[in-house]
A and B are shown apart, each in its own frame.
Chain A
Amino acid sequence: MPHVNSLYGPLDPAPDAGYVDAPPRMGFFTDTSVCIGCKACEVACKEWNNVPGSGLDLLGMSYDNTGALTANSWRHVAFVEQPRSAGWATPAFDGTPDGPAVSPETAAVGAGTSTDTGTDPGLPPGSPAAAARMSGGPEFLGMPGAQPPGRGTGAEGRADFRWLMMSDVCKHCTHAACLDVCPTGSLFRTEFGTVVVQEDICNGCGYCISACPYGVIDQRKDDGRAWKCTLCYDRMGVGMTPACAQACPTESIQYGSLEDLRERAAARVATLHEQGVPDARLYGDDPNDGVGGDGAFFLLLDEPEVYGLPPDPIVTTRDLPAMWKRAGLAALTMAAATAFAFLGGRP
């Protein structure tokens, strides 16, 4: 008999999947407040799981050149640049000089310096007048300004600035839509409560990809199958820490039993609130949310959508019974319409 919450609501997924004496549910707590954006997690994941390279592309999205979680990137470090105070710090650039980078006098002196380069003409001295003129501010030559941000505009014109970094990963949902809709049984629930694709079963139907409310799972073009984070199922099985958490130098990625992690996360949020970071909030930790809580949850410093996460995801199969009812009603209507056409009325 399936659990009343088997499609929606709080649930311990491993026993629900039929495991007897399942070990505690394991997961990740990713604390983005200490992430330094080093991407060691991305590299360690690729190394351990033999995930193919995803190309060396410059996407023009801050320092994020991975772009998103894909079949070939099972960890993704998001970089968000915001014109906003970092919270606990003094206002950005406070106290730094707001004049030009160099005074006209200094520039004029500098133009006269030289050094013996051992070549001819080597480094001849410049024009003091031109140097003094240049130092007064950017002379528009069709080139971007050479001054640091905030210089020359006065202190009040400067924007605050902060960087948000966050290592994203598969959420290993309590109610995993990918797993629910998989028609081959390739996706399965492990004894640790995580969700894993069996690559020898997947036939690349693509249903899981449309079903995931986080846009995590993805298909490899060359082999046609769906791939995503396994939470290093092979390492977990022998009591080892998943590769990304092992590699993380700041313990931004923490691995452990979900129960411990939730306690730790609540304490961390309380600490941050005390330290004057009121924006700190947990994401995916609540067993009463739309997916029954995530096995991999996060501490964020801004709204989820800023990091590319859905603000209120709901597992699509919550509505599946209602959907089947509508389909049944439509099927009956269809049969009735046919009966009406062939039996009713005069030809």
Chain B
Amino acid sequence: MTAGQRHRQPGRGSGRGGEQVTVPPADFTSYYGRPVLKPPVWKHDIAGYLFTGGLAAGSALIGAGAHLTGRPGLRAVGRWTALGGVAASTYLLIHDLGRPDRFHHMLRVAKLTSPMSVGTWILAAFGPMAGVAAVAELAPLLPQHGPLGLARRLAPPVGNVAGLAAAATAPALATYTGVLLADTAVPSWHDAYPSLPFVFAGSALAAASGVGLIAAPAAETAPLRRLALAAAAIELAGGRQLERLGLTGEPYGHGRSGRLVRAGRALLAVGTAGALVSRRSRILSAISGAALVASSVATRFGVFEAGRVSARDPKYTVAPQRERLAQKGPAASR
């Protein structure tokens, strides 16, 4: 093998859906085929966190919506799922660190240029609020009289305020993760920056609607069916751009990452359709809910994997940059 050899990538036409997306042939040089970038060292914890964080955010919104529209069963499901999601998120984020015992170093600074720092502070605001809102659901278990009786009476209003506060930060929690991935040199993540927050917002709402459809009383699930529809619209509209990125969109449509992304979309479509027609059937509702949850998991892992694929292959780094230089003109490429 010699370095500086030219790799030839045949032109590719993706003919799915009757739509021709042609990627120009990439002719590029590399150093012994080694990647230019370091692939992300984030483990699957982070893909899992993308899911649990989104689930927590969507559920907090559902909890607040249910509270404001008088659906106590759905409210409880939303609040507990939000707490469970944010607890799992915190665990996953800390577990992924190279030095988990230093997780609190994140709290030394607040930096707008670091989406991870911004996310830390969003989580720090969201987590306790989601926790208080969920624990307030335990008020009916307290005795009617005595000091605990006072807590029983105070808990619901405190929980309501906390629940609304959590819901206020929830959209930020669900969408900043799009910036978290995009603000890297990883070609497929960076180039997808206009889409990722929308894909993640839709995915978060889909997952949370799914859990609601599984766990909430059937009589209170009407908003969830509409929410699933809205989630699908947001995610599919945002996601349509992913494969249209050109070469760096390739991992979203090909290989294992592509299969995960496609599975996510198929499950989203099935789950949403199921949610819309399963009004009368508890079992069908639960199955639709499970499909929505599974869709979110598949999408998150698919997007995560697509980024790792694009960082490992020098083609995705070199070819688009060469193309950019060629567009700037011969003077720029020297």
Q: A residues engaging B (CB < 8 A)?
A: 7, 60-62, 64, 67-68, 78-83, 164, 177, 180-186, 201-207, 209-220, 223-226, 281, 302-303, 305-313, 316-317, 319-320, 322-324, 326-335, 337-345, 347
Contacts and interface: CB of A to CB of B under 8 A. Distances in A.
Interface hub of B97, B175, B178, B200 (most chain A Cβ within 10 A): B175
B99 A310 contact: no
Contact of B114 (A83, A180, A305): A180
Contact of A337 (B98, B190, B230): B230
Smallest CB-CB A-B distances: 9 pairs:
A204-B98, A224-B98, A308-B31, A347-B222, A331-B171, A330-B197, A203-B102, A341-B227, A337-B230
B36 A338 contact: no
Contact of A204 (B97, B193, B318): B97
A186 B117 CA distance: 12
A331 B98 CA distance: 30
B185 A316 contact: yes
A311 B325 contact: yes
A334 B205 contact: yes
Looking at chain B's contact residues, the main secondary structure is helix
B3 A82 contact: yes
Interface stretch (B62-70, B80-88, B258-266, B289-297): B62-70
B12 to A, nearest CB: 21
B104 to A, nearest CB: 8
A242 B189 CA distance: 36
Chain A binding surface SS class: mixed
B253 interface: no
A307 B3 CA distance: 8
Given A183-B111, A331-B174, A311 B318 contact: yes
Nearest to B238: A330
26 contacts: A61-B1, A81-B2, A181-B113, A184-B102, A202-B99, A202-B105, A205-B116, A206-B96, A209-B41, A211-B185, A215-B37, A215-B38, A215-B185, A303-B29, A305-B29, A306-B31, A311-B318, A329-B198, A330-B197, A331-B201, A332-B171, A333-B198, A338-B62, A338-B64, A340-B226, A341-B65
Interface in B158-186: 170-172, 174-176, 178-179, 182-186
Interface residues of B, number: 87
A181 B183 contact: yes
A224 B32 contact: no
Nearest to B204: A334
B245 to A, nearest CB: 14
Contact of B115 (A181, A311, A342): A181
Nearest to B68: A342
Contact of A181 (B114, B205, B223, B234): B114
A25 B35 CA distance: 30
Contacts of B201: 330-331, 333-334, 337
A330 B175 contact: yes
A134 B198 CA distance: 72
